[in-house]
Structure 1
């Protein structure tokens, strides 16, 4: 097996996908349809998105000993992702319940299951392989101490940490500042700024300008680089030489589930292939745009663009 270019340490779930006319509010009951199970989890999604862009990927995580474990890994296996460091643990595989409305918007409830067992010892057993990866991707769906250990053990010459701080968990500021880039949406960017004890820019009527301001704030807080995703507007990319906008093409939205993960995985693949951050983000925006044009998360991820 070839040395992976991208290592992903993160969550592996199955997604229970429900289709509803409108997302329910507090105390509301709505009728839905669907109820299908498909692979998911932010770590798994990002690993697959990277692999489908033509790079060798190693996944570090855990699934349960239930019937959902095999279903959670099926697309990763098909894409040739290295699963030698995916552990089987007692208990259920992680589960995400995803409701999608007629506009393609969603809400998601995640039950961590086996993801809670992704302990520092699991990462320790994979460190030799991960140290050979030019890019290592982390998120917020496994225990904080595991993410802390991974970033601190691997960040440095030869390994670039891509941190998608979603959800925003209580990582130390020192760990967050190891990321290059940090990838967050607008809401998460504000939370990170609060966590770093930096000023959160006032809301702006133009989401693109607000994205620029968030990037500048995060750079000012000490980040080496940052991507703030802006949904249908694309993404803002902040580096030492300023902030640039990567615009998204107009698409027909069917389901936005997993679009952010598609972007993160494609950015990681682009960086591993030697792209600049701006070009890697452009690839990520294109892949995310393609992913929202069909239902589901992993099944919607495109293979490498010609």
Structure 2
């Protein structure tokens, strides 16, 4: 990665050393995924400098918008600053998104921050079944990319209210007639495996709409381990609900259930990672690399 500067966690922290502790261990536990081992030290050493960098970047963009508006003799628009978060399944994207939103709301109280997952733009299961794509859910073709692109266009046009569909991990499907509303925030955190991908039938990247993109990275062997660990925990918790789409896995013995999870990894998650997710990593502005137990060990900041 010749166009990235590499930083250890300690070096990254030295760029913005801060004594403040904006989050308690209890609050962090509520924000992070149950298989994520991030701790308060990571927040101080990694995420506080990141929020500081994001704030500087937002300020720079706002100034550019004001300068352009002055030249055009117009009122400067209020355009949301979009932070894209990408990476494999089970790597910690959701934790990063929730934590960033919390820190932005806490440390940048004058800036309105909202977050959204691209899961809401998956086609409904009925459509996926009709197209023979249900077994490939999560692959690029399973997303309604025109709808996602149109959503981002509206957000970037400064629309006061833009609605997005809502996805349920409980039902493994889009919730009919339910939407989340994005209200022209200062910062929009967009999380999903496809935030850096180029749709096959579109002439525009999702990343064309993002102002700062983050890729959560880890060795593939670790991601597989985290995926299987998460599966085993879900099998003992969420999957036990009879209304959960994956309730069947709680009924099998552990060995059988794990064999099915490994098959899912090999046939869906691993190919999706290798073909469509990992190749987008060089497009990110920042790569956060994790080692054992989700511990962040290195960061890569793009130069150009």
TM-score (norm 2): 0.30
Whichever of the two has the greater Rg, that structure is: 2
- After TM superposition, the score normalised by the length of structure 1 is 0.30
Larger relative helix fraction: 2
Greater relative contact order, per chain length (Cα 8 Å cut-off, separation 6+): 2
* Structure number with higher strand proportion: 1
